[in-house]
A and B are shown apart, each in its own frame.
Chain A
């Protein structure tokens, strides 16, 4: 694990990214920093590059130029395979919709990241219980403790329930960074706040850094920190 005491979870310097050589630059971020344990709200118009930024932070794509350090790892210097390992070990994801693999059970969906990361398996089972009971514990925290729910096919869960299963999956094995890409846009407003509160609770319990992307400004007030894409991103501004 990278040194635990550095304050910054994420450091970006002079980052540039374009999807393909011929295409326009999507991101140009001179400087950006996120402290450990911070709960950051990232807002921005559709197409402003929010998801693209997250994919760079997760190491799915590599920057065209510049530096990205996540947990002190220089992602821009790692190979694809190294970045994949890094993501498996340190990053949890929740997406907007359809987060779950349809042919896996609820518990298998939750424990899925542990199939790709020994580190997260070790952390998840550190307290001495099995992966499945850790998954059940997380689900119970997210108010999904009925056995009947857990044994249902994931495609038969409500959207809110699916999002909670996805959150349990993102949290299993306590990854240092939790990334949520518009996870609430399919939920109605009551569920939304409830969901975010649960998310905060779990992140606080594991000390995870939370990056939360949304264009819903109503939610912004719930977060301690926020940033707008058009403040971050210098593309199309002649600089």
Chain B
């Protein structure tokens, strides 16, 4: 369970990224966060695993405050939270397997990981994760030699191998074509239902959000302006979130798939 209590974020330059957010997210939910560019979607997501320090309020993961956690317990909390980035953030020169194994660093002692001596159990986990996203045959390929969609699946595999209980995905499909987008979303959905992993995802396309999620959260100027099921998210609601009617490019469009 993730709880956000009166969370606000003010950037050093005075921009209000988040304003008084209150949310409770249960295990196994698939949540899409939608909103205009600059609405604070990334800020919200990155606050949850404290890649950004919030200015006030409290965020608790399974009853434990990440906001006030010390270095060591912060690392232990993060160990259970996978993160998937828009531009993949893989080490391009390292092999696929090494990138996936890097999800296991917090499970092992530092010296072992520095010497690249991961236990066989971890290697098995990593290979299985690669198989689940259908790129096992690329295990020893350099990451830079993969396509964008394949690279994104490597980072999903990293979250899988990490045995994350929560996956945060910040516009994971923004640099992918419609077909690959669907594959990546399907992968995430599969992990969500099969492993009961909570997925929180920032999305640009509202029809993707409606198709995949169990709950949609609309942000506008750092505030939650909508929180409900996809059925409740009518076109009027999106007009409210975006402050205008939807544009063509905010729909992925069935005909594109």
Q: Tell me, yes or no, whether A binds B.
A: no
